[in-house]
Structure 1
Amino acid sequence: MNSDLESVHQAASWFLDCIYLNYNSCYLEHVLEDMLDERDSPKIVRFLKAVDVHVDGFRVERDGDGERQRVYVRHSVGGSDYELRLSEESAGTQKLMGLARFLLSALENGGTVLVDELDAKLHPKLLRYVILLFKDPEVNKGGAQLIFTSQDVSTMRNDVFRRDEIWFAARDESEASQLWSLSDLHEPNGNLVSKNAAFDKQYLSGRYGADPHLTRIEEWG
């Protein structure tokens, strides 16, 4: 393959510039403290308060050799301030603090953020809020793109996504993954799925595929 082509360099640069977050990885949880920058505290706090997470700031404390850091999250309750180590916060708050930095940077500067299991540890309303930030041109002035996987169908709605923005993945009989878009699926009458359809309900009824095949416990064996 001739890699000395401008189109190849452009494609490689796109992938290198993407931010990929996997919240099923214990590694990410271990390095979260090292990822946070105290200079980002004001804008991260604004984001957290916007999603009803009551954090008043955080500070970073480095160890003697400066290679590792600890993050302490500040809370104000009843007129008094106290701190918790980041690891003592709930899993949802930890995820939001790590996620906020990358989401806000993308919304400000453009770029692509890829997140595996974005819905994990997030309330469905919060998930919808994050998605709609990227769909709001007044917020997403840099044209950032959010690509994510999810098991939560609460946002699979025509007032959140277009048909071409919803994709399904499933294993075939040979265990190879297949990928298809909702915009390519047809109703039993041959027409494409309506843009006004109840996507979530139709998916749960099995009309789109990509759902698990479950067996009764009596059939185990």
Structure 2
Amino acid sequence: MLQELKIRNFKSFRDEVELSFEPTGNDRYNSVVTMPDGVNLLRFAVVLGANASGKSNLLDAIEFLHVFWNKIPMTNDDGTDVQPFLMRSDALSHDTEFEVKLYIDGIRYWYQLVINPEKVCHENLYVYLSDSPTKVFSREDVNGISKLNFNPDLVKLSSAEVEVMTMNCLRNMSVLAVLKKVNVSVPYLDNMRKWIDNRMLPLQSGSFTSLSHDVKRLLADSPEFREYLMQFAKEADFNISDIKIQKMVALFGHTVENESGVENHFLPESCQSAGTKRMVELESLIYTQLKRQAFMCIDEIEASMHPNLMEYILTKFVNSRDNHSQLLVSTHYDPILKDIEDIFGKDSVWFTEKGKDGNTTLFSLADFKGLNKLSSIHRAYMNGQFGALPNVL
């Protein structure tokens, strides 16, 4: 589970910002999981702000890491695809920095990355076997060549294995990606590799024009998922009685009542609304996420979605008990603040705001004092008490 993310000099984030999944107080919701060392982590967080304030860029930072940890470039000259903050004259002279703290199988890890569009400057991984971090590996760029150093007290690798890892580590790739190329087992690094592969889902964004191949395959192969989806569609009043997959074509069953009585009709996917297709896609992802107890980001969760349905989806996720899955969403839909104390707590709410200099700041609702004295947090937000509002003239 993700504990915190720090980023600096990435897209609209010029200065360092920190997103934390640690609650600042007691949380009475099902959204908190306690780690073996006593640290509590939230399962849900939402980022709210005006258009172009940097909400998507925050989620893009996580997706960049997800892609980068898996990317195997063909040559040293392919670049890293990182995008620094460009709204200053000396933009390319500043490196981009990421820090991630997370728990894997109850053990805390600390990952650090310093990178620019050409190469990785530094990359480190630590593990907490006590109250203090212990280095797993460090990596630095020396004249365009990646130099790897593994902690011999923790990582028992032969000189030949270290050489194989070093030779395959191009200057524009992660050490975590090297593990996908070589037949070398590295303690603790392997655990993070497995977490990325199995418990970190890709960023989901925008509306869906058609169901993905993965969703159709899940519908065709998993009776359990079809039952789960049909129950959800019934509870959410979608008037969908069944979904059939025939030769990877989705057919939606609908029940109607007319002068002839009750009739069942199957209509092709093209006849379904964008909201219906987005519901099926999102619920398949959340179903997979809950099964894997994975981490996932959804950008603009309200897209093509009725507010009541969005709230229903979030409620079902938060109320899933005994699960270590985490969901981070962005939204323009400010009435979601009315759900505070009903679905999630104040610690789950974050805001983005962009200054005149183009720099995005990130701050938590929990940072504000006197919240318990407010009759309506949503009304206070609309009155500009927290900022993060569009400037409409």
**TM-score, structure 2 length as denominator?**
0.46
Partner of 2:57: none
Shift of 1:131: 1.6
Q: Mark the CA change 1:129 to 1:30 in structure 2 (over 3 Å): closer, same or farther.
A: closer
> SS state of the match for residue 149, structure 1?
strand
Partner of 1:43: 228
Partner of 1:210: 388
Query: Are residue 32 (structure 1) and residue 212 (structure 2) matched?
Result: yes
Partner of 1:189: none
> SS state of the match for residue 156, structure 1?
helix
Partner of 2:244: 59
Partner of 1:65: none
* Aligned partner letter, 1:146: L
Q: Mark the CA change 1:196 to 1:122 in structure 2 (over 3 Å): closer, same or farther.
A: farther
The structure carrying a bigger strand percent of its residues is 2
1:200 to 357, 375, 378: 378
Alpha-carbon contact 2:211-2:277 (below 8 Å) kept: no
Distance 2:213 2:265 in 1: 19
**TM-score, structure 1 length as denominator?**
0.78
Shift of 1:12: 6.1
Shift of 1:212: 0.6
> SS state of the match for residue 19, structure 1?
coil
Q: How does 1:66-85 map to 2 (within 5 A)?
A: 69-78=248-257, 79-85=262-268
Higher relative contact order (CA 8 A, sep 6+): 2
Query: Are residue 18 (structure 1) and residue 200 (structure 2) matched?
Result: yes
Over aligned residue pairs, what C-alpha RMSD do you find?
Answer: 2.5
Partner of 1:127: 310
Partner of 1:88: 271
Shift of 1:18: 2.5
Distance 2:210 2:277 in 1: 11
Distance 1:212 1:31 in 2: 33
Distance 1:171 1:8 in 2: 36
Shift of 1:193: 3.5
> SS state of the match for residue 390, structure 2?
coil
1:142 to 323, 327, 331: 323
Shift of 1:108: 4.0
The structure that has the greater radius of gyration is: 2
Shift of 1:116: 0.7
Q: Mark the CA change 1:212 to 1:135 in structure 2 (over 3 Å): closer, same or farther.
A: same
The structure carrying a bigger helix percent of its residues is 1
* Aligned partner letter, 1:117: E
Distance 2:195 2:392 in 1: 39
Distance 1:10 1:176 in 2: 35
Taking every aligned residue pair, what percent have the same amino acid on both sides? 20
Alpha-carbon contact 2:211-2:281 (below 8 Å) kept: no
Query: Are residue 97 (structure 1) and residue 280 (structure 2) matched?
Result: yes
Q: How does 1:167-178 map to 2 (within 5 A)?
A: 167-178=350-361
Alpha-carbon contact 1:106-1:142 (below 8 Å) kept: no
Distance 1:98 1:196 in 2: 40
* Aligned partner letter, 1:77: V
Q: Mark the CA change 1:61 to 1:109 in structure 2 (over 3 Å): closer, same or farther.
A: same
Distance 1:179 1:12 in 2: 29
Q: Mark the CA change 1:122 to 1:201 in structure 2 (over 3 Å): closer, same or farther.
A: same
Shift of 1:195: 3.7
Structure 1 portions without partners, runs of 5+? 63-68, 186-191, 216-221
Aligned residues: 199
Shift of 1:178: 1.6
